[in-house]
Amino acid sequence: MELALVLVGISAIFVLLGLFFVATHLRPLSEHEVRHLAERRRCQQVSQYFSFHSGEFSVDRQFKKRMKPTGAFYRLGEDLFRFPSTAAALLKYKKHEWVIVAFEKDRHVESIWVNKGLDGSTVSSALSAPRIAQLARQQGYGSVLFFHNHPNPGPSYYDCTSPSQQDLRSATERAEVLNREGVSMVAFVCERGRHYKYFLSATDSFLPLSDFARDINKVNGSSRLRNLSLHLQRTF
């Protein structure tokens, strides 16, 4: 009986809080609140755009063997959603570190650059960040994806799926160069045929925040129920 009374009391508190929220959120969103909701919607859309297949793929073994260690471009046309699994498959079983730089436009990866590292523990793209930005700008690519593998000598004992501090520094430095040129960037670590995204930096020109704010302002203040709906989206 006591437990039932406690539950009833808790339920009543939640009902009152809900009614209070409704009563105080029938007004239009302020300019600051519009921006906050716009940022939230944009973040969701960016995350959705850069969401990827999580399973393993198999790839053409001959193509994998022919990848030039000193670096080369390869043309292809693959769906953005699927490509990280393809890249991870290309790097699977590699005993040295390799890097793949993928150029994306309209949700399709059209071209990749591949090169091998100097040893089994370090790798960097033979293309500099300014050169990558230049190529992306010239060809109208919207984003660049970086992949590198972490060879694991003992999978039963070591977890090599996380980026190193150097990986994080390099990603930040590359993103600064690419973003200035209007190019977004995503970075991945690959191990044993699987990819692990650890960095995403979308340029301001990609899915502009102003577009989301404009759409919100079109309905903001049109009705109390619409105002409440916007507040709910902003808060929860």
Quick one: what percent of the chain has pLDDT higher than 90? 76
Distances (CA, A) of 143 to 6, 46, 98, 182, 214: 55, 12, 20, 9, 25
Q: Model confidence at 154, in pLDDT bands (50, 70, 90)?
A: low
Mean pLDDT of 143-170: 85
Rounded Cα distance between 54 and 52, Å, is 6
Q: What is the pLDDT of residue 119?
A: 65
Rounded Cα distance between 185 and 124, Å, is 16
Q: What are phi and psi of 49, to 5 degrees?
A: -60, -40
Indicate the pTM of the whole model.
0.89
Reported in sequence order, the residue ranges of 17-131 that DSSP labels E, i.e. its strands, are: 72-79, 98-105, 108-116
Structural domains of the chain in order of their starting residue, each with its CATH number: 55-201 (3.40.140.10)
Mean pLDDT of 165-181: 96
Mean pLDDT of 122-151: 93
Checking if the pLDDT of 1 tops 70, the result is no
Q: Model confidence at 150, in pLDDT bands (50, 70, 90)?
A: confident
User: Scanning the structure block, which residue is given the tokens 């593998």?
Assistant: 149
